[in-house]
Each structure stands twice: as C-alpha cells, then as structure tokens.
Amino acid sequence: MNMDIFKIALAGNPNSGKTTLFNALTGSNHYVGNWAGVTVEKKEGRIQFAEHIMDIVDLPGIYSLSPYTLEEKISRDFILRENPDVVLNIVDATSLERSLYLTLQLIELGKPVIVALNMMDEAKKKNIELDLQNLSIALGVPVVPIVALKKEGIEKLMQEIIDAHHNKASYRPVKFNYGDEVENFVKEVELKLPKNLKEQYESRWIALKLYERDREIQNLVSPFEMESDLESPDRMANLRYKAIGDIVNGVAALEHIKYDISTDRIDKIILNPWIGLPIFGIVMWVVFFLTFSVGGYFADKVDTFFSVYLSNGISAILTFLQASDWMISLVVDGIIGGVGGVLTFVPNIAIIFIMISLLEDTGYMARAAYLMDDIMSKVGLNGKAFISMILGFGCNVPAIMATRTIENENDRMIAILINPFMSCGARFPIYVLFSSVFFPGNETAVTFSLYILGIAMAMLFAYIFRKTLFKGEKSPFIMELPPYRFPKTSDLLIHIWEKVKGYLIKAGTVIFAASVVIWVVLNFNTTGLVDITESFGATIGRFIAPIFKPLGFGTWQSALSLISGIVAKEIVVANTSIIYGLAENAGNAEVMAVLSQAFSKVSAYAFMVFVLLYTPCVGVIGVIKRETNSWKWTGFSVLYQFLVAWIMAFLFYNVGQLIF
Amino acid sequence: MSLTHAKKGECFTLEYIESGNRAKRKLQDMGLTPGVKICVVSNSSFGPIILELRGSRIALGRGLVDKIAVRRIDE
Ligand SMILES: Nc1nc2c(ncn2[C@@H]2O[C@H](COP(=O)(O)OP(=O)(O)OP(=O)(O)O)[C@@H](O)[C@H]2O)c(=O)[nH]1
C-alpha cells in the first residue's frame, strides 16, 4: 500500500485541551524534543489512519500570533517555515469569542485549518448552543465538535484532516472584513508586493501584518517604507474582535455564555484572601506529605529490591562464575550501589510530578499564582514567577524553561537566577538518607525545613537582585483563571511517564557512567587497585576538603560527593552509597554507624543546607546558559550559589554548634 | 474613570488602556479591546483584581488596574 505522509500543526489557547487532544490522537506514540535553538518542549507524534501517516506537532499554548512572546514566535515560525499541510486549531467551545482571536489569525496565514471545537460536554452542560454549520461557513473551514477527554469526535476529526490535506490545492482562506480603511490598505499592498513574496506567503496576511506594523514582516518586505503608527496594532486587535463578534452573533446567543458556576463557587473560597492562603499552605503540605510518606513507602520496597535481592543475587551469580573480587565490587558496589541508590527514589519523584501536574491541569496553579502575587510583589516579582518556583520542586530544568511566560526580561532573569534554590527531586534522596540517620522520627520535618529554607533564599535573592542587578518596575500580573477541570488518569499517567522516563534515562546513562567512574576513582591509584583511603578519589577529596572544613564536613568523602554532584545531584547519594558501601548493607544500624563517624547532627544539617543551595547540576547550568543566552550570567549563577551555600552552611554549622 | 474603585459585581465598558506596549498588547490579545463589557468578580485590597469578559476570567495585578479606563454601564 502506498503510504501518504503529511504534517499537522496543533495550535490553541492555553488550557483549551491541547495536550488531551494530542494524547487522544497519538496515544503514547509520541516523543518530546526541543525546538531548534530553544529549549521549549516540542512534542511530536505519529498517527496512522488507514493508509495515512500523520506527523503531528504540538505547538505551545498561545492567545495570538503576534510575535511578542517566544511561544507565539515559535508557533508562527513553525507554520510559516515548516509548512505543515494542515493546521489543527483546538478551540474551547465555552470561550468561543476569545479563542477565535487566534483562529482568525491562523486562517489568515493561508494554510488549511481545521477547527476542533473542544469541551462540547461542558458547553452542553452550560446550555451553550452553537450553530456549527454557520460557524464553519463564517470561518471557511471545517468545524468538528469533540470531547477530547472522552475521545469523542476524534474519528470525524481525522477524516476532516485527511480531506483538508487532499483538497489543499483548492483551499482559499476566507477574508474577514476589517472595514474600508484596512481593506484599502490591503489592496494597495497586494498590488505592490514583489512576486517572490506573493508566492511564498499569503499576500493578504502580509498586508494585514504590515498594517499592524509587525516589525518582522516590515523587515521582510523592506522596500515598503511606511510611516510608523503606534495606534494601528490597537485598531487591528479591535477590528479582529469586532469581526469575531459578528461571527459569534450568528452562531450562539452570547448572553448565554457565562463563566463556569461551580468554578465560581470554588473560587469564592479558594481566592478569598483569608481562606485561600491557608488552603494553599495545606495543599503544599499535602503535596509534600504524599511525596514523603506514600513515595517513601514504595521507595523502601525498591530499595530492598536493589540492596538486598539484586545485590545478593548478582554477587551470588558472579561468585558462582568465579568473577574476581574487583569485578564483583564494581558491579555490586559501583553500579548497583550507585544507580540503585538513585533509582530507589523513583516513587518519590513520580509522586511529586503527579502532584505538580495535578496542580497545573486542574487549574489550581493559576490560583496559586494569584494568591502569591501580593507576597511576590514584596520581593519585586509578580505571582507568575511563583509557578516556575513550584515547578522547580520537580526539576529546575523545565522550571527555568517555564519562566518563558514571564513577559519582562528583567523579571525573567531574576526568576531564572533564583530557581535553583527551589529544591528539585534529585536533591530529595540526600535529605532522606541523612535525616533518617541523624533525625529519625523527624525526617519529614527536617526535609520540609530545607524546602522552606530554599523558598526563603529564593525570595531573599529575588529581593536583592531587584534592588541591585535588575532594577526597574516588575511587569504587571496578567493571568487567565481557567475553569476547574479534572484531568483524565491516563493523560496524567502519560505525563508522569514522560518525566519519570527522563529520570530513568539519566540513571541509565549519566549516573551509570558516573558510578563506574567514581568506583574506579575510589578503588585505584597510580599503583593499581588499592584501599579506598589511598585511592585517587581520596586524594582529590582531601585536596578539596579544606574548603568544607569550616562547614563541619571537611572529610574527603563529602568533598568528593559534593564536587561530583555537580554532574547530577543524584550522584551525591550514589557516591555516598558507594563510598560508605551502603548498597549491600541495608541494615540501618550499620549505615548509622558509618555516617555518624563522619557527621554530627549539626554538621549533617549543614551538609544538607549546602546540598540544597550550592551550584546547580550541569543540566541546569546548561539551561541557564540557553535561556539567558549569556555566559556571564551562567558563570554568575554557578559562583553565587556556591558562595551562598557556603555562607549559609557555615552559619548553620557554627551557630548550631553553639546551641546544641 | 479607572477600575481602581470598581466594586465586585459592577460592569463596565472598556474605553482605553493606558499602559506600556507589551502589557497592553497582551491584554488586547486576551480580549480587552475598547467597547468590551467587563464585569468585576473581585476587587479587594488584597491581590490582583479579577475581571470577567468574553466568557473568561482574567486576574490583573494592582499596577494595571488604574491604567484601564472604563465607563460604568448603567442598568
Ligand atoms: N470537560 C472536559 N474537559 C476537558 C476536555 N478536554 C480537556 N479537558 C480538561 O481540560 C484541562 C486542560 O487540558 P489540557 O489538555 O491540559 O490543556 P492544554 O491546552 O494542553 O493546556 P496547557 O498545557 O496549559 O497548554 C484538563 O484538566 C483536561 O482534562 C473536554 O473535552 N471536556
């Protein structure tokens, strides 16, 4: 059979159900990559339907195609440059008016568009009756009602996509009427437009963009000198909404479109200043409680698997095969100890990611940003920055990418620089290990205190940066409060799997390699196989250790752990497991015995403080470089965090010693 | 008048936005264009103001509120 392969771009407003539709279309048949040159997640999936293969690309959630934010620019460039055969525009039927603003712009780009009218179940519940036929005529493109959550209408949607692809050659976008002034302008431009541009782009779109004084398009058609007109973008936005008003009037009774009533009820409580903040506190506490307790329960099981069954099993097999001692040590202490020490925490990591995506998908995250706006304003940021901070509890890499939604450059720089203080999932194992040894019974409280310290430091430094390096007004808070919705378990699971997969891949590659390297470093020196205390590792550690002496953990072991932890924070635990041989002897007493020789209660806490605050891992350093586009700020970030960590650990250790 | 002293439940027509380019553009893209009907969902001294317009709800920081010129709709 002859396969017919083509490309689809999926575009829509934030919260329109894009991810849900994407999953409904592709199942788990997709992968996450990055946009060329920028680190914004790019999801691609492949659908096979009869003899058609469709490659679908999920564009970032946007309100408009005017290139004012990076997301908008990415989406627009993709549609213009990558030439998708069909643009699939997902529209939330319950906020038709707002959503059509993007739809009109997509249609004007000239590629065949299909409108997937989502949330039809909610629209029905709210008695929003839509004349889909009229809508389709007004827009000049097919409109397919769907319920992405229940996979309703998906087949019809596929069929329309395929039809649109086949009829591509004869497709002509509808012209929305923007009144005489604009239309005359468009005519004039169309006459003068050079031929090559006419062939490459939809000329009406170019003309409209010129009218809007879109700088990029102005450069594209440089011969067109035109007087600047600061008002014209406003007029265009206004005219678009007018055109939409006309369309919607012919399609629905506008008065019926009311905001979600149950959301309104919930928000009366959640957004109430006196009740909302305490509830937010409780929500965060529950997030962490579940991460520690439920996650911890499963982590124990995984730990037993690695440290007892797998280690014993493998060493038995290797002994049976008469492998040499060093071979057994490499596999059991090095690889199983290191990688296993990290994999043990998969359950905790999975739970923190589940919780974060629940917060996002239900719509609560926008409320958290709202509630935190006042407090964040005190340190010179707006509430939106708090979202990237919460995401940092999962992993700082996507969290730093999420600062993209912050409009103002200075605000964004501050948000990026403080993000690593938010304690990511990879640092969590260290707290668990140390607090279970030194603070048994109080693990949760100790760990929680570190998270709080991280937030406090982030706030403090936001304030300091605002007053010194990035002076100026914070950008205003603008955020949609989407209705509360409940995500489907399978979507949640797909999402979590993507995140956990990343963690597993890291364990299988970076951590694996690091474990082997560390094992070698810890078992060899120039003369060959030696005792750990005479190894390269010990030598390196001893060389660095004096730096940490004033902090209470000046042993070569911790120095080596901390330095290697810059590769990935999990390595601190992997390393500790290898150094102290924690892998084979899960016995808590023994762990306690070894660790307590090296640390006191106070120095153990200082160590955790240091781990919380010091130089981010290479993954984060990389993303800081890409996002700030500056080596200077990347270097700054590496150094200032090391200094802050050192000073704080110093304070905790020395003050702690006076008290305890 | 600006939205500063608008009370919960009151509705207005937007006249113009007097604000820097970016914020203004963003607001326009989200539907705050002249003539649109805006209702105030909440406006306390705490936190951002919440507006309802075109079927969606938008929270706006205090700093923006006095830059949005509106006219009261008399019912
Ligand atoms: N009732 C209903 N809810 C839906 C439907 N489609 C999606 N949702 C829910 O709407 C919420 C938002 O959906 P997402 O798929 O995360 O939306 P998105 O457009 O990807 O949002 P961003 O990731 O913020 O861009 C989720 O809680 C979904 O479960 C639908 O057809 N009906």
Across the interface, do A238 and B33 touch by the CB < 8 Å criterion? yes
User: Relative to the CA of A58, which ligand 1 atom is closest?
Assistant: 20
- Which range among A95-99, A128-132, A472-476 shows the weakest confidence by mean pLDDT? A472-476
- A490: nearest Cα among A176, A260, A148: A148
Which token pair is A460?
């403090």
Q: Which residues of B touch A97 (CB under 8 A)?
A: 31, 54-55
> Please, what is the end-to-end C-alpha distance for chain B in angstroms?
17
DSSP B36: -
How far out from the chain centre does Cα A92 lie? 23
Q: Side by side, which strands form the sheet with B49-53?
A: A478-480, B56-60, B49-53, B37-42, B11-17, B68-72
Write down the mean pLDDT value for chain A: 83
Residue of A546 and A228 predicted with greater confidence: A546
Q: Which residues of A touch B28 (CB under 8 A)?
A: 233-234, 237-238
Q: Which residues of A touch B62 (CB under 8 A)?
A: 377
- In this prediction, residue A72 carries a pLDDT of 82
- In this prediction, residue A585 carries a pLDDT of 45
In this structure, the dihedral spanned by the alpha carbons of residues A130, A134, A140 and A143, taken in order and rounded to 10 degrees, is: 30
* B57 to chain A, closest Cα gap in Å: 5
A590 pLDDT above the threshold of 70: no
Judged by a CB distance cut-off of 8 A, whether residue B36 touches chain A is: yes
A68 pLDDT above the threshold of 80: no
- In this prediction, residue A583 carries a pLDDT of 47
Q: What is the ipTM of this complex?
A: 0.92
Q: Which residues of A touch B29 (CB under 8 A)?
A: 63-64, 66, 101, 237
Q: Which residue of B has its CA nearest to A212?
A: B25
User: Relative to the CA of A146, which ligand 1 atom is closest?
Assistant: 31
DSSP B18: -
Question: Averaged over A132-140, what is the pLDDT?
Answer: 92
A92, A128, B14, B37, B55 from A255: Cα distances, Å? 17, 10, 18, 11, 9
What is the C-alpha separation between A104 and A176, in angstroms, rounded? 8
Residue of A118 and A67 predicted with greater confidence: A118
Q: Which residue of B has its CA nearest to A384?
A: B61
What is the C-alpha separation between A455 and A388, in angstroms, rounded? 12
Size (chain A), residues: 660
Helix (H) or strand (E) holding A273: helix A273-304
A359 pLDDT above the threshold of 90: no
DSSP A254: G
Query: Which residue owns the Cα nearest ligand 1 atom 29?
Result: A487
pLDDT digits (tens, 9 = 90+) for B53-71: 888 899 998 888 888 888 8
Residue of A64 and B73 predicted with greater confidence: A64
Which token pair is A315?
């060493």
What is the C-alpha separation between A132 and A222, in angstroms, rounded? 41
Of B22, B50, B54, Cβ closest to residue A98: B54
Q: Do domains A4-170 and A180-253 have the same CATH topology?
A: no
- Is the distance from the beta carbon of residue A383 to the nearest atom of ligand 1 less than 6 Å? no
In order, the DSSP letters of A86-150 are EEEEEEEGGGHHHHHHHHHHHHHT-S-EEEEEE-HHHHHHTT----HHHHHHHHTS-EEE-BGGG
What is the C-alpha separation between A226 and B52, in angstroms, rounded? 38
Across the interface, do B34 and A238 touch by the CB < 8 Å criterion? yes
Question: Averaged over A127-147, what is the pLDDT?
Answer: 91
Q: Which residue of B has its CA nearest to A366?
A: B59
A176 in Cβ contact with A243 (< 8 Å): yes
Ligand 1 site-directed mutation target among A20, A63, A146, A356, most atoms within 8 Å of CB: A20
A299 in Cβ contact with A496 (< 8 Å): no
Q: How many other CB atoms sit within 10 Å of the CB of residue A487?
A: 18
How far out from the chain centre does Cα B66 lie? 9
Question: Averaged over A553-577, what is the pLDDT?
Answer: 79
Count, in order, helices (H) and strands (E) of chain B: 2, 5
A80, A377, A581, B60, B68 from A371: Cα distances, Å? 39, 11, 47, 12, 22
Across the interface, do B44 and A273 touch by the CB < 8 Å criterion? yes
Chain A segment 361-390 residues within 8 A of B by beta carbon are 366, 370-371, 373-374, 377, 382-383
CATH no. for residue B35? 2.30.30.90
Q: Which residues of B touch A256 (CB under 8 A)?
A: none
Residue ranges of domains in chain A: 4-170, 180-253, 277-659
Judged by a CB distance cut-off of 8 A, whether residue A492 touches chain B is: no
- Residue A39's pLDDT band, with cuts at 50, 70 and 90, is very low
Q: B30 is in which domain, residue-wise?
A: 3-72
pLDDT digits (tens, 9 = 90+) for B5-30: 888 888 998 988 887 777 888 888 88
A180-253: CATH, from 1.10.287, 1.10.3470, 3.40.50, 3.40.1350:
1.10.287
What is the C-alpha separation between A466 and A460, in angstroms, rounded? 10
Amino acid at B55: G
A22, A233, A325, A381, A471 from A462: Cα distances, Å? 37, 34, 52, 7, 11
DSSP B2: B
A89, A124, A440, A647, B5 from A352: Cα distances, Å? 32, 35, 22, 29, 41
- B56, β-bridge pairs: B53
Judged by a CB distance cut-off of 8 A, whether residue A281 touches chain B is: no
- In this prediction, residue A3 carries a pLDDT of 76
What is the C-alpha separation between A198 and A18, in angstroms, rounded? 32
- In this prediction, residue A159 carries a pLDDT of 92
Judged by a CB distance cut-off of 8 A, whether residue A475 touches chain B is: yes
A95 in Cβ contact with A122 (< 8 Å): no
Residue with tokens 């893209």: B29
Judged by a CB distance cut-off of 8 A, whether residue A479 touches chain B is: yes
Of A96, A407, A481, Cβ closest to residue B58: A481
Question: Averaged over A160-188, what is the pLDDT?
Answer: 88
- A351: nearest Cα among A296, A419, A422: A296
A294 pLDDT above the threshold of 80: yes
pLDDT digits (tens, 9 = 90+) for A454-474: 999 999 999 999 888 888 777
Which token pair is A236?
């265009």
- In this prediction, residue A420 carries a pLDDT of 93
Residue with tokens 């640390």: A599
A257 in Cβ contact with B55 (< 8 Å): yes
User: Relative to the CA of A12, which ligand 1 atom is closest?
Assistant: 19
Q: How many other CB atoms sit within 10 Å of the CB of residue A29?
A: 13
- Positive or negative, the CA dihedral A309, A314, A315, A316 is positive
A9 pLDDT above the threshold of 90: yes
A495 in Cβ contact with A356 (< 8 Å): no
Q: Which residue of B has its CA nearest to A235?
A: B33
Distance in Å, CA B27 to ligand 1 centroid? 23
CATH class of A4-170: alpha beta
Distance in Å, CA A18 to ligand 1 centroid? 6
- Is the distance from the beta carbon of residue A485 to the nearest atom of ligand 1 less than 6 Å? yes
Question: Averaged over A575-596, what is the pLDDT?
Answer: 65
> Please, what is the end-to-end C-alpha distance for chain A in angstroms?
78
Q: How many other CB atoms sit within 10 Å of the CB of residue A461?
A: 18
A578 in Cβ contact with A336 (< 8 Å): no
Q: How many domains are there within chain B?
A: 1
What is the C-alpha separation between A94 and A96, in angstroms, rounded? 6
